[in-house]
Amino acid sequence: MKVVVVGKGGREHALAQKLKESSSVTDLWVCPGNPGMSLTGLQCADVETTEEIERFCLQNAVNLVVVGPEASILSDLKQRLQSQGISCFAPSAKVAALESSKLFCKGILKDAGVPTAACLVGYSEKEALQFIQQHDFTQPLVVKADGLAQGKGVWVCESLAKAREAVQVLGSQYGFPLLLEECLVGKELSAFALCDGKDFVLLGTACDYKRITPDPFSANTGGMGAYSPCDFITPEDEKTLREFFAKTLACLHSKNLSYQGFLFAGLMKTSEGLFVLEYNVRLGDPETQALLPRLKTDLAQLIVAAVTHNLQNQVCELKPEVSVHVVAVSEGYPQGPLNTGHPVAIQSRVLQQLYYAGVCEKQNALVNSGGRVLGVTALGSSKEQARVLAYQDIHKVSFKGMYVREDIGL
Ligand SMILES: Nc1ncnc2c1ncn2[C@@H]1O[C@H](COP(=O)(O)OP(=O)(O)O)[C@@H](O)[C@H]1O
Ligand SMILES: [Mg+2]
């Protein structure tokens, strides 16, 4: 089977690496990938637009396309490929509203009977301001933009003044409606399912680190590291997670919206149990780099089962080891300007799995070109052991201005 992975980040590197392990995969390309992936033995093809990817797949008789980033999921790529008879593992752009509209997502969660924060919807500034006026602020209020906002559309507001500001800023930047949500208190985790339209397998759980430093009020990033599995859920919680996914898929199915693709639940474990904060219609970055190396089951076979609606009797087995993934970022990340263009030096004997993201080639050398540059995943018999191994290796990497958080997996 000939496979294409669409994307160019660390998540796609981990996906491609895992798919390459499958005996059923004869050829594999990452489109467009990055030159760091090529160094680790993956083939990259310099095609990026939907037209280019379609043409590449036809020219190379590609059988299966696995899509990483949400932008490609929301594009017409799947439709194009399907009309050419090429399987594309990704949700349809329509059902991807689960991520691109928080209001749509809330509606599905409510209809499915999946616990989620109580929420009011302000369709205009006036209405939103009226609602926040009624909140007593003994608990914070969460103000959320409806659409995609690249991690900048959610404000947790401790005071009426802050909530007013949130309504004004988010309203003018992203428009209305805004969601005004009850603030949940607890620990966050991510759970990942692989879905065939009706059935699913639970891939596993992970926890990521969103802030640039250990200070919980420091800047929000795409993710500075992760570990897998989540270490504070019980077997009972895992059963609940499966029920959440099952109910959500059944609800979508009943609305003629069958969901095929990876499904990522952002959850909060509170004193009252698990709540879904949001769904994303793709795998997480960097959670994928922590999760996939733990997969024992052949990922390509699971995806083939999914695109042929045959997941019903499949299971996903994970290695007993725990993983820790640590990301190295460029100076200036996340606010910018980024200090880029510096050679990425790697001492020999990096023993763990290295995943490349924001790198490019300059005068035959690999240089940093983005915010998140690369990451290392280590497996260990405990989180502590995995952590030691991951940090040993990330410190063999250096480029001018390189920064890593030192507390991943603590
Ligand atoms: N109802 C809530 N209660 C408490 N914290 C929340 C709530 N909703 C969101 N958050 C916090 O805001 C973050 C971002 O919210 P999320 O819904 O995941 O939006 P996005 O990922 O699109 O920015 C969450 O990871 C969580 O830390
Ligand atoms: Mg989120």
**Predicted confidence pLDDT, tens digits, the chain (410 residues):** 999 999 999 999 999 999 999 999 999 999 999 999 999 999 999 999 999 999 999 999 999 999 999 999 999 999 999 999 999 999 999 999 999 999 999 999 999 999 999 999 999 999 999 999 999 999 999 999 999 998 899 999 999 999 999 999 999 999 999 999 999 999 999 999 999 999 999 999 999 999 999 999 999 999 999 999 999 999 999 999 999 999 999 999 999 999 999 999 999 999 999 999 999 999 999 999 999 999 999 999 999 999 999 999 999 999 999 999 999 999 999 999 999 999 999 987 777 899 999 999 999 999 999 999 999 999 999 999 999 999 999 999 999 999 999 999 99
| Any atom of ligand 1 within 6 Å of the Cβ of 285 | no
Q: Which residues on neighbouring strands pair with residue 120, listed in sequence order? A: 180
Q: CA distances (Å), 148 to each of 50, 74, 141, 171, 407, in order?
A: 21, 11, 20, 13, 29
pLDDT of residue 349: 75
Which residue's alpha carbon is nearest to atom 15 within ligand 1? 154
Q: CA-based angle 81:28:58, to the nearest 5?
A: 35
Which residue's alpha carbon is nearest to atom 7 within ligand 1? 183
| Any atom of ligand 1 within 6 Å of the Cβ of 341 | no
Count CB-CB contacts under 10 A for residue 160.
15
Count CB-CB contacts under 10 A for residue 281.
24
pLDDT of residue 350: 75
CA of 343 to the centre of ligand 2 (A): 32
How many angstroms separate the CA atoms of 168 and 179, rounded?
13
The conformational region for residue 256 under phi > 0 = left, psi -120 to 50 = alpha, else beta, is left
Q: Give the ligand at the shortest distance from the Cα of 151.
A: 1
Closest CA to 148 of 69, 213, 219, 90: 69
Which residue's alpha carbon is nearest to atom 22 within ligand 1? 151
CA of 41 to the centre of ligand 1 (A): 37
pLDDT of residue 347: 87
Within this chain, domains 2-90 and 187-307 share the same CATH topology: no
| Any atom of ligand 1 within 6 Å of the Cβ of 98 | no
> Can you identify the CATH homologous superfamily of domain 322-398?
Phosphoribosylglycinamide synthetase, C-terminal domain (3.90.600.10)
| Ligand 1 atom at minimal distance to the Cα of residue 182 | 1
- Ligand 1, from 156, 189, 270: best to mutate by most atoms within 8 Å of Cβ? 156
| Ligand 1 atom at minimal distance to the Cα of residue 275 | 1
Q: Which residues surround ligand 2, an ion (CB under 5 A)?
A: 266
CATH number of 2-90: 3.40.50.20
CATH number of 187-307: 3.30.470.20
- CATH assignment of 118-182, among 3.40.50.1370, 3.30.499.10, 3.30.1490.20, 3.40.640.10: 3.30.1490.20
Closest CA to 132 of 97, 181, 94, 173: 181
CA of 193 to the centre of ligand 1 (A): 20
Percent helix, strand and coil across the chain, each rounded to 5?
30, 30, 40
How many angstroms separate the CA atoms of 182 and 385, rounded?
38
| Any atom of ligand 1 within 6 Å of the Cβ of 105 | no
| Any atom of ligand 1 within 6 Å of the Cβ of 278 | yes
Task: Confirm if 248 and 114 have CB atoms less than 8 A apart.
Answer: yes
Question: Residue ranges of the domains in the chain?
Answer: 2-90, 118-182, 187-307, 322-398
